[in-house]
């Protein structure tokens, strides 16, 4: 096992970084909750730091690994060289360190460092997409831009220039969910179909409806966009409910129960199911029905956490030349995500005596899930491919 392999592909370093930050950042959050860590050095409210690092720390690392891996496959463009992978990984890490030192560094410096990562990543993605430009792929540049704008809104609030912190956090999460609506909606039925065909099951394959697919993606993007614009809650709430219902309708045709013996397949359906549920719950909360924080964590833990865990583990196995079979610890990690969602949802829905146990329990389950992921895939991140051929993820 040689560290030299770590920067040979974007998926290696970023999927490792995402897993590590998933554990480290939530562990810091939990220690603050129980009084073991003083959050004063962060320079911002610990709750705001936690939300920021889940969205613009963890999720953007997963994005970096995915786009640096998938886009060359889509277009046939040359993969990013090691020096570029090292550069963008360094920018992502610098952002995490700067935000952790926000109580020491000038807020403008923190913003400049943290906002540097996504533009550099987007520039590389653009050059690769131009090798074979397609609207359905170019769209992701818009979504990366919306994530960056959302992060900017948070930093402007931290600098005391605006009151857009909460707006930016919600916008970043919902834009990430829009990416899942598009990407998850692309890979979930495709990977399910491929797995069924490999088993010789050519009947009752997943069914896709192009108009429904377009509506689901458009509604998810529009929901994020109106949140970033700061439009009234009734507008984004109504759009979110529609986005969730359409996502559920799409999911219903993808044969989610066809392969219960293949965790690496059903976890994709699970993540997309949480997307649909989270959109509906959050939309209803915006309309005055239900707790918004509970709904946001269904999206954050279930949809973003679940789907990124699914895709990162699958891509790591596939691109390292291994069989697309989830190792036991990874399969257990998949199964722990719904428990983390349920505990966090209950903590906000039934506040009072259950809030702290629910939040802490959810955080511990989350940390356990990603520790299992890291333990199982650590040798893959640092080691050579199992064979000489690049396997499709």
Q: What torsion do the CA atoms of 99, 102, 105, 107 make, to the nearest 10 degrees?
A: 90
Q: Looking at the domain assignment, is residue 392 inside a domain?
A: no
> Of all residues in the chain, what percent carry a pLDDT higher than 90?
90
Number of domains into which the chain is organized:
1
Q: Looking at the domain assignment, is residue 390 inside a domain?
A: no
Q: Looking at the domain assignment, is residue 204 inside a domain?
A: yes
| DSSP state letter for 42 | G
Q: Looking at the domain assignment, is residue 71 inside a domain?
A: yes
Would you call 11 helix, strand, or coil by DSSP? helix
**Among the ranges given (53-62, 193-202, 288-297, 346-355), the one the predictor scored with the smallest mean pLDDT:** 346-355
Q: What is the pLDDT of residue 393?
A: 37
What whole-number distance in Å separates Cα of residue 147 and Cα of residue 155? 13
Burial class (CB in 10 A: 0-12, 13-18, 19+), 82: middle
Domain that holds residue 351: 3-382
User: pTM for this one?
Assistant: 0.95
What whole-number distance in Å separates Cα of residue 7 and Cα of residue 16? 11
Q: What is the pLDDT of residue 392?
A: 39
- pLDDT of residue 82 exceeding 80, the answer is yes
Instruction: Choose between 34 and 243: higher pLDDT.
Output: 243
Residue 142 phi, psi (nearest 5): -60, -45
Q: Looking at the domain assignment, is residue 387 inside a domain?
A: no
Mean pLDDT of the region 15-25: 98
Length of the chain: 393
What whole-number distance in Å separates Cα of residue 140 and Cα of residue 66? 12
pLDDT of 253-285, one tens digit each?
999 999 999 999 999 999 999 999 999 999 999
Pick from 198, 345, 195: which is nearest to 281 by CA?
Answer: 345
What whole-number distance in Å separates Cα of residue 77 and Cα of residue 71? 8
Q: What is the pLDDT of residue 4?
A: 67
Structure tokens at 274: 């949480």
Mean pLDDT of the region 62-72: 96
How far is the first Cα of the chain from the last one, in angstroms, to the nearest whole number?
A: 22
Give the DSSP per-residue string, 297-328.
HIIIIIIIIHHHHHHHHHHHHHHTT--S---H
Structure tokens at 142: 């818009």
Q: What is the pLDDT of residue 12?
A: 96
Q: What is the pLDDT of residue 35?
A: 85
What mean pLDDT is reported for the chain?
Answer: 94
Q: Looking at the domain assignment, is residue 388 inside a domain?
A: no
Q: What is the pLDDT of residue 132?
A: 92
Would you call 118 helix, strand, or coil by DSSP? helix
CB 193 within 8 A of CB 164: no
* CATH code of 118's domain: 1.20.210.10
CB 319 within 8 A of CB 389: no
Q: What is the pLDDT of residue 386?
A: 80
Q: What is the pLDDT of residue 390?
A: 40
Mean pLDDT of the region 160-173: 96
Q: Looking at the domain assignment, is residue 393 inside a domain?
A: no
What whole-number distance in Å separates Cα of residue 298 and Cα of residue 348? 11
What whole-number distance in Å separates Cα of residue 201 and Cα of residue 277? 29
Q: Looking at the domain assignment, is residue 346 inside a domain?
A: yes
- pLDDT of residue 136 exceeding 60, the answer is yes
């Amino acid at each position: 096992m040689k560290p030299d392999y770590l920067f040979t592909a974007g998926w290696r370093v970023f999927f490792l970084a995402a897993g590590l930050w998933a554990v480290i950042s939530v562990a810091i959050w939990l220690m603050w909750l129980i009084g073991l860590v003083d959050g004063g050095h962060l320079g911002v409210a610990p709750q705001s730091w936690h939300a920021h690092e889940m969205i613009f720390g963890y999720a953007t690392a997963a994005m970096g690994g995915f786009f640096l891996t998938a886009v060359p496959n889509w277009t046939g463009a040359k993969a990013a060289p090691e020096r570029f992978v090292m550069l963008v990984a360094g920018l992502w890490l610098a952002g995490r360190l700067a935000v952790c030192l926000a109580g020491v560094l000038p807020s403008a410096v923190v913003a400049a460092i943290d906002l540097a990562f996504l533009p550099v990543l987007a520039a590389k993605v653009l050059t690769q997409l131009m090798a074979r430009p397609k609207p359905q792929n170019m769209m992701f540049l818009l979504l990366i831009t919306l994530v960056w704008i959302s992060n900017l809104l948070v930093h402007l609030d931290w600098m005391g220039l605006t009151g857009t912190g909460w707006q930016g956090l919600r916008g970043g999460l919902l834009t990430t969910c829009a990416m899942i609506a598009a990407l998850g909606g692309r890979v979930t039925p495709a990977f399910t179909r491929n797995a069924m065909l490999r088993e010789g099951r050519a009947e009752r394959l997943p069914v896709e409806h192009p108009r429904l697919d377009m509506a689901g993606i458009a509604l998810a993007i529009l929901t994020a966009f109106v949140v970033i614009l700061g439009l009234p809650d009734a507008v984004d709430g109504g759009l979110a409910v529609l986005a969730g219902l359409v996502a559920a309708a799409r999911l219903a045709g993808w044969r989610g129960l066809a392969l219960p013996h293949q965790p690496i397949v059903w976890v994709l359906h699970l993540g997309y199911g949480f997307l649909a549920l989270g959109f509906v719950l959050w939309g209803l909360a915006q309309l005055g029905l239900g707790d918004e924080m509970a709904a946001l964590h269904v999206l954050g833990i279930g949809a973003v956490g679940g789907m990124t865990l699914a895709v990162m583990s699958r891509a790591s196995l596939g691109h390292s030349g291994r069989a697309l079979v989830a190792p036991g610890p990874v399969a257990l990690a998949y199964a722990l995500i719904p428990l983390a969602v349920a505990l966090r949802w209950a903590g906000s829905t039934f506040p009072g005596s259950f809030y702290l146990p629910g939040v802490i329990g959810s955080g511990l389950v989350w940390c356990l899930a990603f520790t299992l992921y890291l333990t199982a895939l650590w040798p893959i991140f640092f080691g050579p491919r199992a064979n000489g051929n690049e396997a499709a993820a």
